[in-house]
Structure 1
Amino acid sequence: MTASPIVDPATEAGGRFPQALRASVETLPESIRHIAGYHFGWWDPAGAPEHADGGKALRPTLVQLAARAVGGDSTCGLPAAVAVELVHNFSLLHDDVMDRDTTRRHRPTTWHVFGIGPAILAGDALVTLAFAGLAGNGRANADAATRILSAAVLSLVEGQTADMEFERRADVGVEECVAMVDRKTGALFGCSGALGALAGDAGPSDIARLQGFGNALGRAFQHADDLLGIWGDPAVHGKPAHSDLRNRKKSLPVVWALRSQTPEARALAELYGRTDDLDEAELAHAAELVEAAGGRDWSRAQIELLHSSAMLALSGLDGDPTAIAGLASLADSATHRQS
């Protein structure tokens, strides 16, 4: 797959999103604000200004494009865009603790710098801030938006719970792994589409279309992310090589490979069943086994199917053609990354 440029969220809503996100985080108490600011790449562990990678901001970009696609103006989706980015980063802070990942976005993870407790509390603060900002934005549909975000957060937590359970099981099926991804990743992407449409005062049918677009995009994005978790270049993606294999993650291509009933599946299951750490040669061999068992090709095929599904959802929209084209570009960028 070849990478295409990510739609730049700084160009959405007149470039107001990065400033709005930072303004929201600046309202946190000082001790938590410092930890959150480090996570977002705004300053170093000592508090000196820094301009590190703050992430792709796909979800807030989806919110803002969706709002414009249904006829909203350039600012109506901004509170929801900030809210979904805060929720996403709450999940990242907690995920890094649970996975014991020590690197994210080419820097030490927040828990690795400040400790487990402070990182968890920073995540808690971000999700609280997300709901406060969404509920207090003064819009007539704030209650509906808060319910949509709440449902997505609960779904995300349910998905993460399943993901952690899978690490202790040897019998994870493909269908339940896909269902986990729908909850853990698809729900927040779908929420982003729905919140954007709601912010643009869309009717129920367009809200459903953009939620469906987001759900399909989220699943495709997770397939792409899982491929990068095995074959991604650490210099490009900021995580150690074979990071998901090192953590025995039951990611989508891994589960497909384990259920393939091939000799490679049995060899991979043996490696995954060990309790000791795998060395670099064994991790490279595990990656070869996943590919030989068909996991890599299956995820790539799923990306294309889900991308087509997302495009079909967009085809039903009759709104701002520039914003709809932006959504299509976002889908291309988010799913067709180097792996």
Structure 2
Amino acid sequence: MTAAATTPRDVRARLATARSLLEPPLRHAVRRLATPVRTVAEYHFGWCDAAGDPTDAGWGKGLRGGLTLAAADAVGGSAASAVPAAVAVELVHNFTLLHDDVMDHDQVRRGRPTAGAAFGDAQAILAGDALLALALDTVRGRPAATAEVCRALLDLVSGQSADVAFESRTTVGLDACLTMAAGKTAALIAAACALGALSADADADADRVDGLRGYGHHLGMAFQLTDDLLGIWGDPAVTGKPVGADLRRRKKSLPVVYALTSGTAAGAELASLYAIPGASTDTQVRRATQLVEQAGGRDWARQEADRHRLDALACLAAARPGRDGAAVLAGFADLATTRDH
């Protein structure tokens, strides 16, 4: 089977359609919350400002929910059948974002203050907890879907815990960093794709569910590698985050860990920079950016992202998707490695 070409524009249009399908049930779910947690959650989604007045700041790409809908379609299901699972996935994802911003001390997300910066860390954490509860309630009564979400959550927490631990460790191995990324990012994307198959009643055909889960895992790894590249070299006007944000925080992202373990002079100098106590200066951030590239971190991350893209396509083929569904999911894999935000 040869899939027809799907362009990045096609995939973005697919995501826009998915967001239009998912936003009403997402809003309905969040409206179940009591204030002030509801206001914090609605602010995080871009639906109101810090005073609670309506806005339309945007709630993100909707990638994970869009993948759930696309996966269901690819194995013969309907988008409507997969909407509850897709909503659950987006609620879990936004739970992680609220907590991540607190743990990382981030002050800006999507070009405006984070929920923690606007309302305080305690309220942001509680809003994240509330979204997690809503997510689990959304798939309540569907044992296979609930098990998939819970498995992803356990992997996600393990990965996030490792990510936090890495910040205080002087040395981190590349394999350990890849395992962290598999939990922190790839686990939920893998679950999103498997949930699409489960929503299409493909659970009787376990190899299709497994194939889409594997596709999602490799897509998630490619996504994280690209995200780490953007965290160093992304355009702040596009990403909505300050230039060199990851390096300023001395985050041990995948390109950085590759550079630190490269055995090169640039890697050794980068290790010395990362060991300097106190906040990084602009000069140090610029130098660290140069050193990661000189040590090969940028090229390695690009190549590794493309390898995972190809592995994702191999897993996709094992799921035996329809022709159009294969084209759409292949397009998602391409977009994960070429995106600019």
TM-score (norm 1): 0.95
Aligned residues: 331
Runs of 4+ aligned structure 1 residues displaced above 6 Å come to: none
CA drift at 1:282: 1.2
CA drift at 1:22: 1.2
Superposed, which structure 2 residues align to 1:301-312 within 5 Å?
A: 301-312=303-314
Aligned to 2:3: none
Aligned to 1:294: 296
CA distance in 1, matches of 2:231, 2:252: 11
CA drift at 1:288: 0.3
CA drift at 1:323: 2.2
Aligned to 2:193: 193
Aligned to 1:96: 101
CA distance in 1, matches of 2:88, 2:156: 15
Contact 2:225 2:305 in 1 (8 A): yes
CA distance in 2, matches of 1:245, 1:124: 29
Deviation readout 1:290-316 (Å, 9 max, x if unpaired): 000000000000011000001111222
Contact 2:162 2:180 in 1 (8 A): yes
Aligned to 1:269: 271
| Cα RMSD for the two superposed structures | 1.4
CA distance in 1, matches of 2:278, 2:60: 32
Contact 1:10 1:18 in 2 (8 A): no
CA drift at 1:26: 1.2
Structure 1 unaligned regions, length at least 5: 137-141
Deviation readout 1:149-200 (Å, 9 max, x if unpaired): 0010111011010001111112100001000101111100110111110100
Contact 1:234 1:241 in 2 (8 A): yes
Superposed, which structure 2 residues align to 1:58-97 within 5 Å?
A: 58-97=63-102
* Counterpart selection for 2:117 from 103, 108, 112: 112
Aligned to 2:4: none
CA drift at 1:146: 0.3
Contact 2:160 2:180 in 1 (8 A): yes
Contact 1:91 1:123 in 2 (8 A): yes
Aligned to 1:139: none
Aligned to 1:281: 283
Superposed, which structure 2 residues align to 1:1-339 within 5 Å?
A: 4-5=8-9, 6-7=11-12, 8-12=14-18, 15-136=20-141, 142-202=142-202, 203-338=205-340
CA drift at 1:227: 0.4
CA drift at 1:318: 3.0
Contact 1:253 1:298 in 2 (8 A): yes
TM-score (norm 2): 0.94
Structure 2 unaligned regions, length at least 5: 1-6
CA drift at 1:254: 0.2
